[in-house]
Amino acid sequence: MSKTIVITGVGKRLGYELSKALLKDGYQIVGTYRTEYPSLADLKELGAELYPVDFYQQTQVDDFISQLSNKYNVIRAIVHNASDWSADDSAHHNAAEIMQRMMTVHASVPYQMNLALQDKLRASGHADVIHISDYVAEKGSKKHIAYAASKAAMNNMTLSFASLLAPEIKVNTISPALLKFNPHDGEAYKEKAMAKALLPREAGFDEVIEGVKMLLDSRFMTGRNLQFDGGRHLR
């Protein structure tokens, strides 16, 4: 069985931690990043093959897919982790640009990759596509409407691709709510965020990493959404 797993957005946070964990488990990681981070040197040292890809540049997306198609005969899994979190009142982009950007990174690029690489996945005999979504896709957001809508589109693609790619390829979603605070987050923000859940704490990256491993090991789950949300839906 192939040990090659493609993970998008590996430069920091979940993508970085997931890549490290799977590398240590013996998988060959092929990762993308948009911005140079010191953490990328760690992944390279562990054996990851990394590609700089700006998902907002279609030519770079096309080139990356072409390189994967030419270099790998078999791909074990794709984890669509790359994300952007632009607010609707962004000072850098107008409303049309924000919606286009959110849909590009969360829906369009995963859609293109899933279609283009399906034969490489099928060749594995037991393959996975995992979309890393967000709890907000279920609830909506007053300040990140475009982001929430694009994650909802990603969730819907899970259903469509699960039907299209079965039985050789399983397609599932993982939707976390609060993984890990950023260093600059203030105490008031942290308290407000944690109060939204029945389990008032950070999930931590390990929660999703273990979810990914479970999906990789599973032989009988497809078209589903694992929701690591701390019980927010019951608040």
Pick the CATH number of 4-234 from 3.40.50.300, 3.90.110.10, 3.30.565.10, 3.40.50.720: 3.40.50.720
Give tens-digit pLDDT for 27-38.
Answer: 999 999 999 999
Quick one: pLDDT at residue 235?
79
Quick one: pLDDT at residue 1?
58
Contact 10, 29 (CB under 8 A): yes
Give tens-digit pLDDT for 194-214.
Answer: 888 888 888 899 999 999 999
Decide: residue 49, CB within 10 A, 0-12 exposed, 13-18 middle, 19+ buried. Answer: middle
Catalytic residue among 27, 72, 135, 147: 147
DSSP string, 62-86: HHHHHHHHHH-S---EEEE------
Domain ranges of the chain: 4-234
Residues of the chain scoring pLDDT < 50: none
Quick one: pLDDT at residue 200?
87
Average pLDDT of the chain, as a whole number: 94
* DSSP reduced 3-state for 50: strand
Does the active-site annotation cover 51?
Answer: no
Pairing outcome for strands 49-52 and 77-80: unpaired
